[in-house]
């Protein structure tokens, strides 16, 4: 009888512990999908436009604590452009059904969508499948090149450096690969025009702002730190991006917007004090 009671007590403690952990998880986890808006002014010769930034979906679900992402996305109608800034998939992505729904919803609110790779696309098993989906849905994949929206407005897309530093690639460092690509793709660059750079990683922002003349750089990758204590995150120490974790930054004549993204790391499948987000940017005179 004593042993039986002891076993019951231990089981009760274990169950209680799991319940407490579950309650703490629910209390601190951040799974509300935010729409975060930023506005920038320019004196350059362009019309006012809006764009959405969708980044770092990884392998999560379309369902958030405040609703389904597809419904929330459609509520942003209309926008002029959608920027997919990488890591839409990763090695844990078993199906592209969610991504297909995102692309279709994006097309229902904008006819101009652009994609750049993140580091996870390089080794994701479904990378070719993702390219096929983009082709089917009319999402333009920009690979170390640019798109001329009009005579005075251009969108540049930087291929993630992981594609250039692995598997016998010629570059030894991400920085070397990134700057070499930028040198090549900006040869015909006109600093008097309005120029946007889509770059999954924000880690080279200082050199980009010091050596090139982009008006706006749009990035993801950091997940906003994913785990935050107040405004501080341990990721600011652990990641190469350092001070550039999420939000807006300015250096010289260049603004940087970093999306916190939608998903999370497989090693730490939880957000704390760091809601997932879709970023909405408005540029006007």
User: pLDDT tens for residues 184-220?
Assistant: 999 999 999 999 999 999 999 999 999 999 999 999 9
pLDDT tens, residue by residue, 227-248? 998 888 888 786 766 789 999 9
pLDDT score, position 3: 61
Angle formed by the axes of helices 97-109 and 127-137, nearest 10° = 30
Distance CA 53, CA 202 (A): 14
Long-range CB pairs of 190-197 (<8 Å, 24+ gap) are 192/44, 192/152, 193/44, 193/45, 193/151, 193/152, 193/153, 193/154, 194/42, 194/44, 194/45, 194/46, 194/152, 194/153, 194/154, 194/283, 195/154, 195/156, 196/154, 196/155, 196/156, 197/156, 197/157, 197/158
Quote the mean pLDDT of the chain: 89
pLDDT of residue 69: 98
Write down the pTM of the prediction. Answer: 0.89
pLDDT at 66: 97
pLDDT band at 51 (very low <50, low <70, confident <90, very high): very high
Q: What is the mean pLDDT of residues 143-169?
A: 92
Say how many C-beta atoms besides its own lie within 10 A of residue 134's C-beta: 19
* Tally: H helices and E strands in the chain: 8, 14
Who has greater pLDDT, 242 or 145? 145
pLDDT at 29: 61
37 backbone dihedrals φ, ψ, rounded to 5°: -105, 140
Return the ∠ at Cα 247 (arms to 224 and 208), rounded to 5°: 100
Distant-in-sequence, close-in-space partners of 223: CB < 8 Å, separation ≥ 6: 56, 235, 246, 260, 261, 263, 264, 265, 271, 274
Q: What is the pLDDT of residue 17?
A: 36
Contact 140, 113 (CB under 8 A): yes
Query: Is the four-CA dihedral 104, 149, 204, 128 of positive or negative sign?
Result: positive
How many residues are listed for the chain in this entry? 285
Q: What is the CATH number of domain 32-284?
A: 3.60.21
pLDDT at residue number 166: 77
Please report the pLDDT score of residue 235 as a whole number. 82
Q: What is the pLDDT of residue 196?
A: 98
Q: Where are the domains of the chain?
A: 1-30, 32-284
Closest C-alpha to 36, from 17, 51, 20: 51
pLDDT band at residue 62 under the 50/70/90 scheme: very high
CB atoms within 10 A of CB 49: 16
- Per-residue pLDDT, averaged over 48-71, amounts to 97
**What is the predicted pLDDT for the residue at 1?**
53
């Amino acid at each position: 009888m004593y042993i039986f009671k002891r076993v019951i007590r231990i089981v009760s403690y274990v169950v209680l512990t799991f319940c407490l952990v579950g309650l703490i998880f629910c209390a601190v986890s951040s799974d509300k999908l935010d729409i975060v808006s930023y506005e920038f002014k320019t004196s350059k010769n362009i019309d006012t436009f809006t764009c959405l930034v969708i980044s770092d979906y990884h392998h999560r679900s379309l369902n958030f604590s405040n609703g389904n992402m597809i419904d929330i996305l459609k509520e942003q109608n209309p926008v002029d452009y959608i920027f997919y800034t990488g890591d839409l998939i990763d090695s844990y992505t078993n199906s592209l059904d969610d991504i297909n729904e995102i692309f279709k919803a994006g097309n229902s609110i904008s006819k101009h969508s652009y994609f750049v790779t993140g580091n996870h696309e390089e080794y994701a098993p479904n990378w070719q499948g993702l390219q096929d989906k983009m082709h089917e849905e009319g999402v333009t994949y920009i690979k170390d090149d640019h798109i001329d929206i009009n005579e005075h407005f251009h969108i540049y897309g930087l291929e993630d450096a992981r594609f250039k530093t692995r598997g016998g690639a010629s570059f030894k460092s991400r920085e070397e690969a990134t700057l070499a690509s930028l040198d090549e793709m900006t040869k015909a660059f006109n600093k008097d025009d309005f120029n946007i750079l889509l770059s999954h990683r924000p880690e080279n922002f200082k050199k980009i702002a010091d050596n090139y003349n982009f008006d706006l750089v749009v990035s993801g990758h950091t997940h906003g730190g994913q785990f935050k204590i107040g405004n501080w995150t341990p990721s600011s120490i652990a990641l190469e991006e350092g001070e550039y974790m999420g939000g807006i930054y300015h250096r010289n004549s260049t603004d940087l917007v970093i999306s916190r993204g939608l998903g999370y790391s497989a090693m730490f499948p939880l957000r704390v004090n760091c809601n997932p987000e879709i970023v909405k940017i408005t540029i006007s005179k």
